[in-house]
C-alpha cells in the first residue's frame, strides 16, 4: 500500500462529501406564498408554505411584509407586521395583514418581500413575492409603513442555503459542479504530461497524458449529462442552449477530436507526438473557451449576466466545507481511474516500461 495514501484520501473525501452533502439539512425557507397580488387598503390573508419549517402556535411565528426601499434611519424599514398569524401545521400558516391605502412615496416598486421568523427555524425571506395593487397616491402612509425589524431569531446548526427554485437540488453543487473543477485539473495534468512527453520522449508520460485525457473526457460527459438532468428540473428543459452548455459541448468535441487524431495516424510514434502537441494546444484553447467567453455573454449559470453567483451568498461557508473537499475527492478518483488505465496500457505495450516505483 506504499504510495497509496492519496487513494485512501480519495475514499475518505468521497465518503465525507457523500454524507455531509446529503445529510446536512437545508435552512428553513418559504416555498410559496398565495395570493401573490393583494389590494392595498384592505385586510388580506396570506397563506405561507414553508420548507423545513416547524411552525408552532405556542412559539409564535411572526410574519412581516417588507417593501423594497432604502433602510430608514434608526433600524426601521418600510414594512408591515402581521396583525394575526394562524398556524395550520408545521409547514403552513396564514398571516393577516391590514394594508394601508397607499405606498410610501420613496418605495422602489410595488412588490413586498415576505419575512417569517420563529424560534425553531430562525428568520427567512421570500424576496419580492407579493405584488401590491391599486394603491392611492399621496395617501401619506409613510408612517403606517414604518416598522422596526429587530430581535430576529438566529438559526442554529449546520445548514445549507435554501433557494425556492433549487430546493434540495442545491446539493448538486458537490456532485455536478465539483466534477467540472476536477475536469479542468485532470486536463491540466494531461497537458503537463503531454508537454513532458514532447520534451523527453518518455513513453510513460504519453500513457499518462492519454489516460488523463480519457478520464477528463469521461468527467466532461458526466458533467454534461448531470447538468442536463439538473437543468431539466430547475431551468425547465435539459438543453437551453446556454452559452456555458454550448461551450462545454465544444470542449468535449475538441477532446474527442484528440482521440480521432491519434487513431488516424499511420504510426504509433506519430500518433504520440502529434497527439501530445494537439493536447497541449487544445488545453490552451480551452481556457478562453471555458472561462473567458461564458463571462462575456448572457448565461443562466451563476456568475454571469446578472445571475446570482454561486461565489456570493449562494455558496456560503458551510457549502464551501463540502464543495472544496468534493473537488479534491473527485480529482483524486479521476487520477485513480486514469492510473488504472495508463498502467494497463503500459503493460499492454511493453511490460518493462513500468518500474515498481512508478506505481
Partner 1 sequence: MLQRYLTLVRLEWRLELRQGASLASVGLFVIGTVYLFSLAFGTLEPRLWNALFWLVLLFSATNASTRLFSRELTYRYNYYAQLASPLEVFAAKATFATVLLLGVGALNWAALALLFGNPIRDYGLFTLAIALGGVGLALVLSFVAVLTARARGGAALTSVLAFPLLIPLLLTLVKLGAVAARLIQQTSTTKDVLLLGGVDLLVIGLSILLVPTVWKEA
Partner 2 sequence: MGSPTTKPKNGVREGAAVAKTKPMSTDLSLLLLQAPPDFFRSIGKIYVVVAVIAIVLIGFFVSLYLVERRISKLENQVNQDE
Site string for partner 2, 220-259 (x = CB under 8 A): -xx--xx--xx--xx-------------------------
The CA-CA-CA angle for residues 254, 260, 265, to 5°, reads 130
Q: Is the dihedral of CA 332, 337, 341, 347 positive or negative?
A: positive
Among 65, 179, 186, 251, binds partner 2 (CB under 8 A): 179
Q: What is the DSSP string of 3-47?
A: T-HHHHHHHHHHHHHHHHHHHSPBPPEEEEEE-SEEETTSEEEEE
Distance (Å, rounded) from C-alpha 328 to C-alpha 221?
19
C-alpha dihedral (270, 276, 279, 284), degrees to nearest 10: -130
| Helix or strand holding residue 247 (H, E) | helix 243-263
For residues 280 and 322, which CB has a smaller minimum distance to partner 2 in the complex? 322
Cα-based distances in Å from 241 to 55, 299, 304, 305, 306: 41, 9, 15, 15, 18
Q: Does position 241 bind partner 1 by CB under 8 A?
A: no
> What is the DSSP code (8-state) at residue 213?
H
Among 99, 179, 282, 327, binds partner 1 (CB under 8 A): 282
Closest approach, Cβ 285 to partner 2, in A, equals: 25
For residues 130 and 280, which CB has a smaller minimum distance to partner 2 in the complex? 130
Contact 198, 273 (CB under 8 A): yes
Q: Does position 137 bind partner 2 by CB under 8 A?
A: yes
Q: Does position 359 bind partner 2 by CB under 8 A?
A: no
Q: Does position 264 bind partner 2 by CB under 8 A?
A: no
Closest approach, Cβ 282 to partner 2, in A, equals: 21
First to last CA, the chain: 10
Site for partner 2 in 28-87 (CB under 8 A): 31-34, 36-37, 49, 51
Contact 188, 331 (CB under 8 A): no
Question: Which residue in 127, 154, 179 sits closest to 21, CA to CA?
Answer: 179
Contact 192, 216 (CB under 8 A): no
Closest approach, Cβ 205 to partner 1, in A, equals: 13
For residues 197 and 219, which CB has a smaller minimum distance to partner 2 in the complex? 219
Q: Does position 251 bind partner 1 by CB under 8 A?
A: yes
For residues 104 and 275, which CB has a smaller minimum distance to partner 1 in the complex? 275
Distance (Å, rounded) from C-alpha 121 to C-alpha 156?
8
Binding segment for partner 1 (CB under 8 A), chosen from 25-33, 93-101, 224-232, 271-279, is 271-279
For residues 136 and 320, which CB has a smaller minimum distance to partner 2 in the complex? 136
Q: Does position 133 bind partner 2 by CB under 8 A?
A: yes
Binding residues (CB under 8 A) for partner 2: these are 18, 22, 26, 31-34, 36-37, 49, 51, 102-103, 110-111, 126, 128-129, 131-138, 164-169, 171-172, 175-176, 179, 215, 218-219, 221-222, 225-226, 229-230, 233-234, 333, 337, 340-341, 344-345, 347-348
Binding residues (CB under 8 A) for partner 1: these are 198, 247, 250-251, 253-254, 257, 260-261, 264-266, 270, 273-274, 277-278, 280-282, 284-285, 288-289, 292-293, 296
Amino acid at each position: 500500500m506504499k504510495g497509496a495514501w492519496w487513494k485512501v484520501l480519495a475514499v475518505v473525501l468521497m465518503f465525507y462529501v457523500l454524507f455531509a452533502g446529503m445529510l446536512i439539512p437545508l435552512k428553513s425557507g418559504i416555498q410559496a406564498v398565495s395570493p401573490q397580488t393583494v389590494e392595498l387598503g384592505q385586510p388580506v390573508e396570506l397563506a405561507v408554505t414553508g420548507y423545513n419549517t416547524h411552525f408552532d402556535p405556542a412559539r409564535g411565528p411572526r410574519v412581516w411584509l417588507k417593501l423594497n426601499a432604502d433602510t430608514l434611519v434608526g433600524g426601521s424599514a418600510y414594512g408591515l407586521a402581521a396583525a394575526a398569524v394562524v398556524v395550520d401545521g408545521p409547514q403552513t400558516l396564514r398571516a393577516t395583514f391590514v394594508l394601508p391605502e397607499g405606498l410610501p412615496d420613496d418605495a422602489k416598486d410595488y412588490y413586498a418581500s415576505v419575512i417569517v421568523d420563529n424560534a425553531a427555524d430562525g428568520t427567512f425571506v421570500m424576496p419580492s413575492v407579493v405584488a401590491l395593487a391599486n394603491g392611492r397616491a399621496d395617501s401619506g402612509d409613510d408612517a403606517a409603513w414604518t416598522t422596526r425589524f429587530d430581535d430576529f431569531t438566529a438559526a442554529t446548526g449546520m445548514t445549507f442555503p435554501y433557494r425556492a427554485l433549487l430546493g434540495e437540488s442545491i446539493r448538486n453543487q458537490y456532485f455536478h459542479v465539483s466534477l467540472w473543477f476536477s475536469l479542468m485539473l485532470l486536463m491540466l495534468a494531461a497537458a503537463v504530461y503531454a508537454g513532458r512527453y514532447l520534451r523527453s520522449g518518455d513513453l510513460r508520460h504519453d500513457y499518462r497524458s492519454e489516460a488523463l485525457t480519457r478520464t477528463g473526457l469521461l468527467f466532461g460527459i458526466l458533467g454534461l449529462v448531470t447538468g442536463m438532468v439538473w437543468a431539466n428540473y430547475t431551468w425547465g428543459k435539459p438543453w437551453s442552449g446556454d452559452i456555458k452548455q454550448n461551450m462545454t459541448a465544444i470542449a468535449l468535441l475538441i477532446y474527442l477530436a484528440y482521440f480521432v487524431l491519434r487513431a488516424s495516424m499511420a504510426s504509433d510514434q506519430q500518433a504520440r507526438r502529434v497527439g501530445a502537441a494537439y493536447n497541449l494546444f487544445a488545453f490552451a484553447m480551452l481556457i478562453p473557451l471555458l472561462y473567458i467567453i461564458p463571462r462575456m455573454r448572457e448565461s443562466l449559470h451563476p456568475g454571469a449576466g446578472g445571475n446570482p453567483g454561486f461565489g456570493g451568498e449562494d455558496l456560503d461557508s458551510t457549502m464551501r466545507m463540502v464543495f472544496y473537499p468534493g473537488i479534491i475527492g473527485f480529482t483524486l478518483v479521476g487520477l485513480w481511474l486514469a492510473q488504472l488505465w495508463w498502467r494497463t496500457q503500459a503493460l499492454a505495450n511493453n511490460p518493462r516500461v513500468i518500474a515498481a516505483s512508478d506505481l
